[in-house]
Each structure stands twice: as C-alpha cells, then as structure tokens.
Structure 1
Amino acid sequence: MPRRRARRPWYRTRAFRLTRTAALAVVLVTAGVRCGGHDVPVAPAQAGAPAASAAGGGADEDERTAGNKASEPRKPPPRPLPRSPATTLRVPSLGIVAPIVPLRLGSDRHLGTSPLDRPKLVGWYAGGPTPGERGTAVAVGHRDTKTGPAVFAGLARVARGARIEARRADGRTAVYTVDRVRVFDKATFPDKEVYGPTRRPELRVLTCGGLFRHATGYTSNVVVFAHLTATR
C-alpha cells in the first residue's frame, strides 16, 4: 500500500501561528488537534464573510432597527474587572455549560489545547486577559473529535446579540454580547482583526470550521467576536 502523506500538524497552521501582531494581545493555535474526524461543514461563507446561520439578520435588519435603537438610551459600559482566572463558560442560547482549563504557551511558542479525551472542556489563554479584564481575551474549543461532537460543535449557529458568560475564580461573572460571527479560511486568517489589542474588554471564541480534509484537517475557523456588556 502507498504510504500516506503526513498531515501538517494543526499547530503549524498560519491561522494560529505566533505573530508580532498577536504577541501583545493573544497567542493561540487551532481549537483542536484536528477538530475531530467528522466532515461536518459550516454554513457556506467566504473568508471574512458572515456565517449565514449566525449573521443575525444582516444589513437589512440593521436598517430596520436603526431608528428604534437611536431613540433608546444607551447604558454606560461596565467597568473592566480586575484579574481573576476563568472557571466556566456558558452560552445559554446553545445550551453550553463548560468547565474552563487554562492554556499556556509551550517551548515552541504555540498554545496548547484542551485534552482530546475531554472534548467538552474549553481552553482559555491564561497569558491574555481574564474574563471582564480590559483587552482581547481568547477561548478555544474542539468542534469534534474521533468520538463525536465536542463543546463547540454548534458555535457557528450563535446569533448576534446572544450572551456568552464567563465565570471567574472570584465568583464574579463577565457577560459578553456577541457582535458578529465570521468564518475565515485558514490560509488567509486575519491575525490583526481577530487578535489585535482593544481598549475595552472583548472576547474571541474560536473553533474549526469549513470542510474537513484528511490530509490537512478543517479548511476554516469559526470566530465569534463579543464585547463585555455586564458583570455580576
């Protein structure tokens, strides 16, 4: 039998390689070793375009509701929280309640991932902001593994305006609101847009997306952009 060509390691993909752009804010790698062995495509989307199932209505909805939103009083943004490690992630609209494990850089300057034998865990980059802290925080999780769907199997379906809640070790919870969901091709992954520093507390939640290829893994990454809207 012909020898199979070795698949490129997930942590060597451009989308999650350590870059100068990301160094000051976040450093992470793909959301799974291979994000599982199942060919479960995300809703078709071009690189940088909204996922069809997660765009929350698109530009037409924005135009319809712009007048109403303009008349509503704006609440002052919550104050950033001091540093405290993340412990649990909740996405109520998707039914996700997941323990969080801290992820750190290895000697090769790449971030580890949550264990494949515990696919329901979420990894949080411990070297970046903690929940509610100012800056760009990052959470990653597997989409699937060889044994079936994982914690972020349905992440592409999260809607704009949905809540993402991150509980902290000090007992407080940082509540983020989803601004947008994008599917980016790994070959043209926009490091600066995703990982760039921010003045307010923001969160990026990532997993694999697109089509699965045995030689190279998933073709894309699902990225959820959210910002802090409440603390409790």
Structure 2
Amino acid sequence: MSQTAQKANGWLVGIAVLCGLWLIQNGSDTLLVPPQPSTAESFAAGPQLQPGSPVAEPMRPSEPVRIRIPGIGVDAPMMRLGLGKGGGLDVPPDGNRNIAGWFKDGIPPGAKGTAIVAGHVDNAQGPSVFYALGALKRGTRVEIDRKDGRTAVFSIDAIEVYDNEDFPDQRVYGDQPHASLRLITCGGGFSEKTGYQGNVVAYAHLAEVR
C-alpha cells in the first residue's frame, strides 16, 4: 500500500470516529434527521460507471476552491484538511455550516485517481453543507472550481451508507483509472450516547471539464 493510501485509510477511519462524537458535543435539542440514500441509488456490486455515462480525461492537479451541487442546494468554499496527531482528519470548523474540506495530501478533484471531500451534516445551529447528501440521485452533477480557473464537473454514480464498523476502505478510497470523487458525511442510525453510527458516501466520476 502506498503512503498516500495509508494516510487515506487513517483519515477515513478518523471520519467515522469524529462523526460519532461530533453531534454529541454540538448537537441541538431538536434533531432533524438527514435524508438517507435510497437503495435504488446504490451500487449492486462495487463501484462502477453507469453505462453510457461520459468520462472526461483527467486534469492536471490543481487545488479545489469551491464546490457546487445545485440539485441539493450546495454552494460552498473549500479548505485544506490534513491529519491530526491521532491520525484522524482535521475537520472543518464546527461553527461554519457552509464549508467543505478536501484531503490536501491526497488527489485533488479532477486529477487521475480518487479525490476525497468531506463536510459536516449538521451543527448546533442546524443542517450543514452536506446535510442533504443522502438525497442525491445518480447522474446528479457536482461542480468543483479549481485554482487553475477550470471547473471539474462530476456525475454521481451511486450513494451508499455504511456503519462505522463496516466502512469499506478500499471500495471508497481505492485507486481508479479515471478521475473519481468521493463525498463523505455522517449518517446512518443515530444514538444520543454515541452520535451518528455511520457515513454516507457519494461516488462520482469526472464527466466534463469547463
């Protein structure tokens, strides 16, 4: 396993842990249950492109600066996220409901390989940037503006939810021959004692470059 893959593995494990504790520390008294992925939008077996879906050539690496998902009302700036001392992800600021982060030591969105982007599902004030991630449909477009002035346009291939104990590391962050994207937030069941019990993951591929 490469050094990048090892870091990605530690980061994803960290997401599951942080999601379980985050709402306990910052949750409001009235809980709004985020939408959960429909089985109709999931993969039957492993990540794969939808038949006939256009696939764009990978772009040169460039830092992402903004993410838009018009289908669920997302329009947010992006920030770099590294690994904390414990090996988990340094999450975006708790108080900012409209910001997403990308793993700065991994693949930038649009470049060849698998790029990882994470965002909170909620905070003490209510829904956050990826609250509606579970409501995505196959074919939904995700636009990511980059520092090089170009926009990477991704097409959603599937949306799935996993329990923390059964998070499929290789399936989510494993290398791909094209430019791939994973959007991750907290989800699944919720416990007042331990918080969210899993993660919602949206799989996408680069379909267009603008």
Fold similarity call, TM over 0.5: yes
Q: RMSD of the TM alignment (CA)?
A: 2.7
2:38 aligned to which of 43, 52, 63 = 52
Aligned with 1:224: secondary structure? strand
What are the Cα deviations for residues 21-50 of structure 1, in whole angstroms up to 9, with x where unaligned? Answer: 94275634327552552351543xxxxxxx
Q: C-alpha displacement at 1:83, in angstroms? A: 1.4
Report if aligned partners of 1:54, 1:158 keep a CA contact under 8 Å in 2.
no
Q: Does 1:118 align with 2:96?
A: yes
Report if aligned partners of 1:87, 1:100 keep a CA contact under 8 Å in 2.
yes
Residue in 2 that maps onto 1:3: none
Q: C-alpha displacement at 1:107, in angstroms? A: 2.7
* Matches of 2:62 and 2:139, distance apart in 1: 25
Residue in 2 that maps onto 1:209: 187
Unaligned runs of 5+ in 2: 45-49
Report if aligned partners of 1:206, 1:222 keep a CA contact under 8 Å in 2.
yes
Q: Percent identity?
A: 38
Residue in 2 that maps onto 1:171: 149
1:40 aligned to which of 14, 25, 33 = 33
* Matches of 2:184 and 2:153, distance apart in 1: 17
* Matches of 2:39 and 2:72, distance apart in 1: 13
TM-score, normalised relative to structure 1 = 0.75
Residue in 2 that maps onto 1:188: 166
What amino acid maps onto 1:40 in structure 2?
Answer: V
* Matches of 1:187 and 1:42, distance apart in 2: 21
Residue in 2 that maps onto 1:141: 119
What are the Cα deviations for residues 169-203 of structure 1, in whole angstroms up to 9, with x where unaligned? Answer: 11111111000000111111111111111121100
* Matches of 1:54 and 1:116, distance apart in 2: 32
* Matches of 1:39 and 1:95, distance apart in 2: 17
1:88 aligned to which of 51, 59, 66 = 66
* Matches of 1:191 and 1:21, distance apart in 2: 13
What amino acid maps onto 2:111 in structure 1?
Answer: E
What amino acid maps onto 1:81 in structure 2?
Answer: M
1:219 aligned to which of 169, 187, 197 = 197
What amino acid maps onto 1:194 in structure 2?
Answer: V
Unaligned runs of 5+ in 1: 1-18, 44-50, 60-65
Residue in 1 that maps onto 2:175: 197
Report if aligned partners of 1:175, 1:229 keep a CA contact under 8 Å in 2.
yes
Q: C-alpha displacement at 1:211, in angstroms? A: 2.5
Aligned with 2:165: secondary structure? helix
* Matches of 1:168 and 1:115, distance apart in 2: 21
Aligned residues: 194
Q: For the structure 1 residues 134 and 21, does the alpha-carbon distance in structure 2 shift closer, same or farther, using more than 3 Å as the test?
A: closer
TM-score, normalised relative to structure 2 = 0.82
What amino acid maps onto 1:202 in structure 2?
Answer: S
Aligned with 2:134: secondary structure? helix
Q: C-alpha displacement at 1:78, in angstroms? A: 2.0
* Matches of 2:6 and 2:102, distance apart in 1: 16
Question: Which of these two proteins has the greater Rg computed from alpha carbons?
Answer: 1
Residue in 1 that maps onto 2:129: 151
Residue in 2 that maps onto 1:16: none
Report if aligned partners of 1:101, 1:123 keep a CA contact under 8 Å in 2.
yes
